[in-house]
Each structure stands twice: as structure tokens, then as C-alpha cells.
Amino acid sequence: MRIIGMDIHRDFAEVVALEGTALTHLGRVEMTRDKLRAFAAELEAADHVVLESTGNTVAVVDLLSPHVARVAVANPLQVHLIAKAKTKTDKIDAGVLAKLYAAGFLPEVWIPDEATLARRRQVARRSQLVKQRVRLKGFVHSILHAHLVPRCPHADIFGGKGRAWLRAQVLPDDERSAVER
């Protein structure tokens, strides 16, 4: 059984194979669907692939899983605590992942199913939108405060009555434009 360690970056992954105690550098793989599919086709059914959790891990796992016995995903924070190296290169990092997996010391993370991932993405996007909305509302309040505009007499400055009140306030043209946007 080969253990394939992958140090994944935005545009490429450095790949190392561990067979017994021998590490073999397999090169770089571009992080595109076509290149990853081509790489996956070269893997053996008995291979185990190890990679750290990153932003594109789920896509990589989905592409590689049908071609190998197992894809393990490491917790990057715990891996760095276990394997502190003075010399750090992508090849060394990929080799460390493979060696930790072979020794049974790889701190793995759970990869959720597609339905759970979809719910997580939905919650994350909703949370981001709420944060943006709060930030923008604060921006409007700071403009009003900077120009000595009194508090809005309505319960919600961003509701219908509040927006009508806001349009009636005297502001410099650039600030008016910012509030309208």
C-alpha cells in the first residue's frame, strides 16, 4: 500500500508517495478539476491519500475518493503542533503527512456529507450577509453622527418611515450619496 501525501496550495499540490520507508517525490499537480482527474487516474486502488484541510479539500476528496482505498484529511493546526520542522518545504510537508498517517498519528477531521456541507454554506453565507448589513447600518449611523443629525424618531431607521425620515435629513452631497448606496 502506498500512502500519498499532498501539500495543497491554491494553484498546485506537492505530492509525495511513501512506500515502506521510502519517500518518492511524484511532482506537482495543478489544482484544476482536469489535472486532478488525470492525477487520480494514475493512482492505484489500494493507495491511501492524505491531505490537510483547506478551503478546497472537499472538492479534492470528491475527485480522488473513487480512485483510492481511502482519503484522509488532517487537522492542519494539530499537524503543525506534532510535526515542527526546522526545514519546511512543500515536499517535506507532504512527506510528514504521509509518515504521520503511516504511524497512526495523523489527527484527522471528519468530512461531512453533501447535505451537511450545503447547510453549512447556507449558514455561513447568511452570517456573512448579516455582518455586512450590520456594518453598513453602522456606517450610516456614523455619517449621521458626524453631521450632528439627531436620533431617528422612528423605531427602525431602515424601515419605511425611518428611510423617509433619513431622506429628509440635510447631508453633504457625498455623504448623501453614501447613505443612499
**Rounded Cα–Cα distance for residues 32 and 47 (Å):** 21
If asked whether residues 124 and 143 sit together in one domain, one would say yes
Distance from C-alpha of 98 to C-alpha of 48, rounded to nearest angstrom: 9
| One domain, residues 42 and 79 | yes
DSSP character at residue 89: -
Q: Is residue 126 part of a domain?
A: yes
Residue 95 domain flag? yes
Q: Exposed, middle or buried by CB within 10 Å (0-12, 13-18, 19+), for 163?
A: middle
**Whole-number pLDDT of residue 80:** 76
Tell me what pLDDT residue 87 has.
Answer: 63
Domain-ending residue, one of 103, 124, 152: 103
pLDDT in tens, 91-114: 989 999 999 999 999 999 999 999
Instruction: Report residue 83's pLDDT band, with 50, 70 and 90 as the boundaries.
Output: low
Same domain, 53 and 75: yes
Q: Do 7 and 49 meet the contact criterion of CB atoms below 8 Å apart?
A: no
Same domain, 49 and 9: yes
Give the pLDDT band (50/70/90) at residue 77: confident
Sign of torsion over alpha carbons 154, 157, 159, 160: positive
Long-range Cβ contacts of 54-57 (<8 Å, 24+ apart): 54/8, 56/8, 56/31, 57/8, 57/111
Q: Is residue 39 part of a domain?
A: yes
pLDDT of residue 86: 61
Total structural domains in the chain?
2
**How far apart are the C-alpha atoms of 20 and 64, rounded to whole Å?**
22
Tell me the average pLDDT across 40-57: 95
Question: Quick one: 122 and 33 in the same domain?
Answer: no
Cell of residue 40, nine digits: 487520480
Domain hosting 61: range is 3-103
- The residues facing 64 across adjacent strands are none
The reply to whether 109 falls in a domain is no
pTM of the predicted structure, to 2 decimals: 0.74
DSSP classification of residue 23: E
The answer to whether residues 77 and 12 belong to one domain is: yes
Task: Report the side by side order of strands in the sheet with 70-74.
Answer: 22-30, 12-19, 3-8, 48-52, 70-74
pLDDT at position 139 is 96
- Are residues 49 and 119 both part of a single domain? no
